[in-house]
Structure 1
Amino acid sequence: MRTSTRMPKRIFVTGLALALAATTVATNAAPASAAACNGYVGLTFDDGPSNGNTPALLNALRQSGLRATMFNEGQFAAAAPAQVRAQVSAGMWVANHSYSHPHMTQLSAAQIDSEISRTQQAIAGAGGGTPRLFRPPYGETNATVRSVLARYGLTQIIWDVDSGDWNNASVDAIVQAVGRLSNGQIILMHEWPANTRAAIPRIAQVLASKNLCAGMISPQTGRAVAPS
């Protein structure tokens, strides 16, 4: 009888100890995870979305636990609205990259307005929300572009580091470019180069080695910050 009465107590005590240990581990895990981010960088991908490239890019980013800002062209958002929704569902931020990727500084104010407004409408119509960020094609801008952006409440975003993926950069070169990022900085990449998609797992490793996390781009400062 003593054995039968003592065993439940031992089981209860052991179970309680395990539960307390698990609670302690869980409690300690959250601060450790948060402390791993000593800064944030902005991963950006231009020229999407497309039915051919977007799914593979999103899959690579999800598997590596990365989030990024997608600078979409309006013409492509209108043609592939499901991919805009997929970007949002994958936790990405959707932004404006003009409608047809022209040299903005060669356009009139009315033409610039059309490029921007049609893209805002295409992205919103596809379920991507109303963009708050704009990246001028080729990084070309002037006072007229900035004045039109102001009317739409858009913040212009260029970049601090160019991955060179648009110029056939190798996977190694793209990863090395990411390694040059520091807190708050932004890197230019594109969704269509195969080497960029192949580099994603190593990009995640490089950022982790530097205790940097992939963040959002603040519309207030234009810098990478913690996701809100």
Structure 2
Amino acid sequence: MIAVTVPALAVIGGIAARPAAAADTTPYRAQVFTQGYDTSKVATLTFDLDWRTGSAAQNAVSKANLETVLSVFAANGITGGFGVTGRFAEQNPAEARNIAAQGHKIFNHSYSHPDFMTLTRSQRWSQLDKAEAAFRAAGIGSAGWFRAPYRSGYMNAALNRDLALRGYYISADWTFDTTGYKAADWATVSGRIDRYLKPGAIIVMHVTTPSTDPGNLQKIIDKIKGMGYGFVSPFQAVTRGPIRAAYLAGGGPSWLGPATTGPMRATTTGTEVQWFQKGRLYYSAATGAHEVHGSILTKYRAMGTVGSFLRYPTADERGGAGSGRYSTFQGGSIYWSSATGAHEVHGSIRTKWLALGGEAGYLGYPRSDEKAVSVGRASQFQGGNVYWNSRDRAHEVHGAILTRYLALGGTGSRLGPPTSDGYKVSAGLRSDFRHGSLIWNSATNTVTVVYR
């Protein structure tokens, strides 16, 4: 849920109205999550993790605390979130890698934990970039999730614009802090849970000594369970509705990776799109929620996604003949193969192509998008072309007949557009055109032109 006021802390700054945007475009600002979308009794547990190189004893305690947190999470089947600084990952790459390896979500918590409201835009970007470089070196990544050090400016419009301009579209904030980082006793922590826990709450705790949170974690979990709550991961907390259902049904982060944006209106009210690390999920009432990813998504994006004539996907991506892939949309399909790349097919040409067996037929996969020709439209396939115009409708031309037809000038030639598919004759194969025919002789492998 966006910009939920937290009773324990004041909101700094405000959110100005964002400019109007075209459908399914890059977010203008990072979306702030002070709680998840759940309205049922569930909570999300997160920890912040940063320490400078201290004494060997202090570092040993902090590392033991992290091991305790990961162990308790594993024992309770909880997937949490970790706001990790770049310097922590740089100094402790194995520990950082272990957090991610156990399935927890990493947030970019800056490189050295400065107050972002004291930094210029370039300094903010430097902190983000340096942290992400340390993450990459450790074998982890944030996927564009940020958590503000000190929570400073987390609702500031300019800061969230700066985040978006650097590719950080999720500001992973929180509903309340246990204050364990102040060495709070159990009574204090328990009291804050009583006061601030609510459906969808995101709870922040801290690893580093003198935090009491690692030692209290099992009691915190037991207390929350005793209040009738369960737990959801950060991956789930930032999704909702049919897109969440589709995401979880497909395998969640193991399928599409983490979300990289919050849910956004796709075109009109009631439609939605959410971007993920490995693809996007689109929803409309007419089509339901379906994913698009990989090379097919690249083509779909180039065409304008839901703003194009293809509109919304009507199914998830599926396997085609010969290890190819395809996705269907309201206005057509996109097919991909390693030999041809990704191309769209739609309208009457698609209908004709599918009637001839589609990618499994002799025409094979498309090797061009549909394009205008001198008379009507055409799509090229591995095994031939399909032509369409409003008078003669859609017909295929292939083989030696197609080679001769193109040499003569195609639809712009004296023959004009095709009026039939290729059909067998005693000599071999024949295709008829508006002003004549082409006849292929199988015995001589020659093509004869007949004008009328």
Question: Do these two structures clear the TM 0.5 threshold for a shared fold by scoring above it?
Answer: yes
Q: How many residue pairs end up in the alignment?
A: 191
Stretches of structure 1 that go unaligned for 5 or more consecutive residues are 1-37
1:144 aligns with 2:146: no
Kindly indicate whether the alpha-carbon contact (under 8 Å) linking 2:43 and 2:199 is maintained by their aligned counterparts in 1.
yes
Instruction: Give 3-state SS (helix, strand or coil) of 2:212's partner.
Output: helix
* Aligned match of 2:113: 101
* Aligned match of 1:25: none
Stretches of structure 2 that go unaligned for 5 or more consecutive residues are 1-39, 52-61, 253-452
Q: 1:90 aligns with which of 80, 93, 102?
A: 102
Cα deviation for residue 210 of structure 1 reads 2.8
Cα deviation for residue 63 of structure 1 reads 2.5
* Aligned match of 1:117: 129
Cα deviation for residue 220 of structure 1 reads 8.7
Instruction: Give 3-state SS (helix, strand or coil) of 1:66's partner.
Output: coil
1:176 aligns with 2:191: yes
In structure 1, distance between residues paired with 2:236 and 2:116: 21
Q: Which amino acid aligns with 2:229?
A: L
Kindly indicate whether the alpha-carbon contact (under 8 Å) linking 1:48 and 1:70 is maintained by their aligned counterparts in 2.
no
Instruction: Give 3-state SS (helix, strand or coil) of 1:53's partner.
Output: helix
1:56 aligns with 2:68: yes
Cα deviation for residue 111 of structure 1 reads 0.3
Cα deviation for residue 95 of structure 1 reads 0.9
* Aligned match of 1:189: 205
* Aligned match of 1:15: none
Map 1:127-138 onto structure 2 (within 5 A). 127-138=139-150
Map 1:64-79 onto structure 2 (within 5 A). 64-79=76-91
In structure 1, distance between residues paired with 2:163 and 2:222: 36
Kindly indicate whether the alpha-carbon contact (under 8 Å) linking 2:68 and 2:215 is maintained by their aligned counterparts in 1.
no
Identity %: 26
**Deviations 1:163-209 (CA, angstroms, capped at 9, x unpaired):** 11122211232233334311111112111245211111111212222
**Deviations 1:7-47 (CA, angstroms, capped at 9, x unpaired):** xxxxxxxxxxxxxxxxxxxxxxxxxxxxxxx4321211112
In structure 2, distance between residues paired with 1:42 and 1:195: 19
Kindly indicate whether the alpha-carbon contact (under 8 Å) linking 2:184 and 2:212 is maintained by their aligned counterparts in 1.
yes
What's the C-alpha RMSD, in Å, of the aligned pairs? 2.8
Cα deviation for residue 221 of structure 1 reads 4.4
* Aligned match of 2:223: 206
Tell me which protein shows more helix as a share of its residues: 1
Map 1:2-13 onto structure 2 (within 5 A). none
Kindly indicate whether the alpha-carbon contact (under 8 Å) linking 2:200 and 2:237 is maintained by their aligned counterparts in 1.
no
Kindly indicate whether the alpha-carbon contact (under 8 Å) linking 1:175 and 1:199 is maintained by their aligned counterparts in 2.
no
**TM-score normalised according to structure 2 size:** 0.39
In structure 2, distance between residues paired with 1:220 and 1:207: 17
In structure 2, distance between residues paired with 1:188 and 1:130: 17
